[in-house]
Amino acid sequence: MRLVLPLTKTARTRRGAAWLVSLLCLAALLQPATARADNPIVQTIYTADPAPLVHDGRVYLYTGHDEDGSTWFTMNEWRVWSSADMVNWTDHGAQLDIASFAWASKDAWAGHVVPRNGKFYWYVPVVNRATGRMAIGVAVSESPTGPFRDALGGPLVENGEIDPAVFVDDDGQAYLYWGNPNLWVVKLNSDMTSYQGSPARIPLTTQGFGARSGNPDRPTLYEEAPWVFKRNGQYYMVFAAECCSEFIAYSTAPSPTGPWTYRGTIMPRQGGSFTNHAGVVDFKGGSYFFYHNGALPGGGGFTRSVAVESFTYNSDGTFPTINMTGGGAPQVGTLDPYVRQEAETIAWASGVETEPSGEGGMNVGWIENGDWIKTKGVAFGAGARSFNARVASAAAGGSIEVRLDSPTGTLVGTCTVPGTGGWQNWTTVTCPVNGASGTRDLYFRYTGGSGYLLNVNWWRFSA
């Protein structure tokens, strides 16, 4: 990772020596076991507050973005990612930001997306400029990857509290939950942008949310970040517990409004961030637990990173204890190299970042000599014969080394990228490939002179 993207590559600056040393140390540690290192699932920026959504055969992941070098929750936009296999994640960029809400002034904090009526609704907390208080806004899109737009022109609800989450029950009734230090619920109407009656405060009893000691103002473990879902007729509320540092706990209930019974810890305190924020989904026959930590270089409580673990519920429906790992979730299926793949579909990256592409979507950029990208579980089958990539360079270009199994693994092809006269002046390059067969981890290693070398928009192999 490097600093937040400016408008031009020439405006780019470097971190200090300590940052570079930590990044090099991470690379040295990871390289011998690169194939097993898939957490955190995004390495190009800091991400936080994961909200996963399963839709049409993919997992869509909505996150906040901690700005580099933050010493507070400095967050200006929300980002979208997606995956068909739980390990290769496509960056769809920032599809919502503070400027999307004309009435908001700051703090793009933890949000949640739900589908309804062929649309996608993104509920987010922001500071209302008129009152200076946190309010819950809602944005809408016709696509899970945006763009999203303000649905109301003002807050949906405002009481100074944060962390909205929406659950739609089997009967179609939607519920909005949010709150810190309290826990609130209100029934949403079917339009998803208005509600019935008045918000109700859920009683925070020790029976419902566990007992906290030493803080008479917060007698229960509930802190923030509710996540509600239904499984086998039982309602679950997962939440961040007892700051600071937080762990993840949960309660269950016979209805979406309670009464809640505290069930215990899911994820203990760990991971280098004093907050945590969970999301839980089932996908292609497995169960997945998303969270954030401070695992990337420079990471911590204000520079967090989203990660994921697979898990299996206990036979009685309770959660097992889930610990943070560097391995992440196993891959579900394989990746097809013979269809166009976005260059920003990444299992692990070193050195690169992403940016909006002039051809639509995103592209990989800020590439320097020695940077690389891993794509996991690529099914070459009987073998690939050639490699195509959509590239651009305002400099002298460079080379894309196509390697297997590690950044220094078997070299099966090299594509030369010329200067194209601009970072968004795109051309397609092709080179022969020999030895890419079976299912392998694929690495693109970039080489060339000094400075930024090239951008990549997409790639595809030919059999």
The catalytic residues are 49, 223
**Beta strands 345-346 and 341-342, pairing class:** unpaired
Per DSSP, 177 falls in state E
Residues 6+ away with beta carbon under 8 Å from 216: none
For 36, phi then psi, to 5°, come to -100, -5
- Distance of alpha carbon 161 from alpha carbon 183, whole angstroms: 9
- Strands across the sheet containing 234-241: 222-231, 234-241, 247-253, 261-267
Enter the tokens of residue 81.
């990612």
Residues 6+ away with beta carbon under 8 Å from 67: 4, 46, 74, 75, 76
Burial label, 229 (beta-carbon count in 10 A; 0-12, 13-18, 19+): middle
* Nearest to 296, CA basis, from 3, 31, 46, 14: 46
- Distance of alpha carbon 318 from alpha carbon 133, whole angstroms: 37
- Distance of alpha carbon 234 from alpha carbon 56, whole angstroms: 25
Residues 6+ away with beta carbon under 8 Å from 138: 121, 122, 123, 124, 150, 151, 152, 156, 192, 193
* Nearest to 90, CA basis, from 79, 98, 75, 100: 79
**Beta strands 362-365 and 134-141, pairing class:** unpaired
Q: Are 168 and 178 in contact (CB under 8 A)?
A: no
- Give the DSSP H or E segment for 25: helix 17-30
CA separation, residue 402 to residues 286, 370, 386, 415 (Å) = 32, 13, 11, 8
- Distance of alpha carbon 78 from alpha carbon 63, whole angstroms: 6
